[in-house]
Amino acid sequence: MPLFKPTPPDKSTPLTLSDEQKLNWLALIRSHNVGPATFWRMINYFGGAEQALDHLPEFQHRAKKHRSQSPPITRQMVERELKAARKLGATLVARGEHGYPPALAHLDAPPPLLYIKGNADLTTLPAVAIVGSRNGSAVGQKFTRRLVQELAQAGYAIVSGLARGIDTAAHTGSLEQATMAVIAGGIDNYYPPQNKRLQSQIEKTGLVITENPPGFEPRARDFPRRNRIISGCALGTIVVEANLRSGSLITARLASEQGREVMAVPGHPTDPRAAGPNKLIMSGASMITCADDVLENLTPMSDIKRYEQASLFEPDTDQQSFEILDIEQSTREIVLNALSTQAVEIDEIIRATGLHSREVRVVLLELELGGQLEHDGAQNIRLLAPVAS
């Protein structure tokens, strides 16, 4: 008997964006140098996506150094994207809307929008992520299929990345119950090609999730972002088989940074695919040998209600009263002098400069939109290259 059942959305107080708002959100997140973290900072600073789009050219112009001459995103471009997605049967959901994984919504700077295709009600179940080697052994894949079947029967949704090997075993083992595949490409991109049929099956009985537009072909740098979504959707991540340089260990690290449970299946020390899980266990991950071990770790934290009803956005207390600050060049130079290519917390920059936090954050936003600044974690920033003032 399942411990959990999908919960229908509460239609009495719907949490949704209008079509107009959704197009504005889409235009903003597709804009050059605007990733999830920058998106939320702009939403909070300007009070909404429409206002942020109005002021985006001004802020980009403020940054002296531009790394790209990419054309601006137009209304027609995002309308075409949304129309193409709907033609493929995909739905665009915003953070806080039904179909957006609640646990993911509570991360620092989660993707503002996702395309989903399949059974959106699966996102109301507590989820566990299963990742591992693309060259998973026969024993590892068999263990994975049995493990996910038992977890799905206990009421958990299974999240993985639709890669070969362990990911494939995780999806096939939970296909008839509750499986969610997070992909790095567009909803119409089948990667790897041999999993095209499996992805099509998941679209019918499970759920496929991506943050990227239709037609998008993933690059190497897109897979860590996908991994962040995989771990973010789940209460915990299990690594079955992985060598020491596997992307599965990146997923485990991300899960730990997100405050989620990290679990690993031990393996024989002479098998390179056991090196990753064994190292995780030595570093403090929970050792998993059966479904009961997973349930023991996750049941205390599996109250999905604590992740429900995320706000569409959460205003920054420093920026609740909206105004465009006129930043003097001398202020920019003070902030730039405090920055380096080594990551540092924003609060440390504020402390070192002695400036008001709002002034510092505006300068950092300018640098982000100019492609000169990178956020490493929730509040850590670094310059991508030395900037001449």
pLDDT score for 311: 54
Domain C-terminal end among 56, 73, 94? 94
109 and 249 together in one domain: yes
284 and 375 together in one domain: no
Q: What's the pTM value of the predicted model, to 2 decimals?
A: 0.87
- The answer to whether position 45 is within a domain reads yes
Q: What is the pLDDT of residues 237-282, one digit of tens each?
A: 999 999 998 999 999 999 999 999 999 999 999 999 999 999 999 9
Mean pLDDT along residues 153-176: 96
68 and 165 together in one domain: no
- The answer to whether position 47 is within a domain reads yes
| Helix (H) or strand (E) run with residue 382 in it | strand 380-383
216 and 264 together in one domain: yes
Rounded-to-integer distance, Cα 234 and Cα 131, Å: 12
Structure-token match 């206002």, residue found: 51
300 and 374 together in one domain: no
Nearest Cα to Cα of residue 227 among 91, 111, 305: 111
Higher pLDDT, 368 or 115: 115
- The answer to whether position 32 is within a domain reads yes
Domain C-terminal end among 274, 307, 340? 307
- The answer to whether position 227 is within a domain reads yes
- The answer to whether position 3 is within a domain reads no
For residue 186, what are the contacts with CB-CB under 8 A and spacing of at least 6? 115, 210, 212, 213, 214, 215, 216, 217
281 and 197 together in one domain: yes
- CATH number of the domain within which 123 lies: 3.40.50.450
- Single-letter amino acid, residue 55: H
Rounded-to-integer distance, Cα 183 and Cα 300, Å: 29
- CATH number of the domain within which 362 lies: 1.10.10.10
For residue 95, what are the contacts with CB-CB under 8 A and spacing of at least 6? 105, 110, 111, 112, 113, 310, 312, 313
pLDDT score for 95: 93
- The answer to whether position 366 is within a domain reads yes
pLDDT bin (cut points 50, 70, 90) of residue 307 is: low
Higher pLDDT, 360 or 195: 195
The pLDDT of residue 11 is above 80? no
Domain C-terminal end among 94, 126, 142? 94
Q: How many CB atoms lie within 10 A of CB 93?
A: 21
Show the domain range for 355. 325-383
Rounded-to-integer distance, Cα 259 and Cα 61, Å: 38
185 and 277 together in one domain: yes
3-17, 18-32, 122-136, 340-354 — which is least confidently predicted?
3-17
Task: Tell me the pLDDT of the chain averaged across its residues.
Answer: 86
Q: What is the pLDDT of residues 22-73, one digit of tens each?
A: 999 999 999 988 889 889 988 888 888 999 998 888 777 766 554 455 677 8
155 and 298 together in one domain: yes
266 and 147 together in one domain: yes
Q: How many domains does the chain have?
A: 3
69 and 146 together in one domain: no
- The answer to whether position 320 is within a domain reads no
Q: Are 212 and 92 in contact (CB under 8 A)?
A: no
pLDDT score for 302: 61
For residue 202, what are the contacts with CB-CB under 8 A and spacing of at least 6? 118, 162, 171, 175, 179, 180, 181, 208
Mean pLDDT along residues 364-372: 82
Nearest Cα to Cα of residue 5 among 128, 150, 156: 156
163 and 216 together in one domain: yes
- The answer to whether position 319 is within a domain reads no
The pLDDT of residue 139 is above 60? yes
Q: Are 333 and 125 in contact (CB under 8 A)?
A: no
110 and 142 together in one domain: yes
Catalogue the long-range contacts made by 4-7 (C-beta closer than 8 Å, 24 or more residues apart).
4/125, 4/126, 4/154, 4/155, 4/156, 4/302, 4/304, 5/125, 5/155, 6/119, 6/121, 6/122, 6/124, 6/125, 6/178, 7/121, 7/124, 7/304
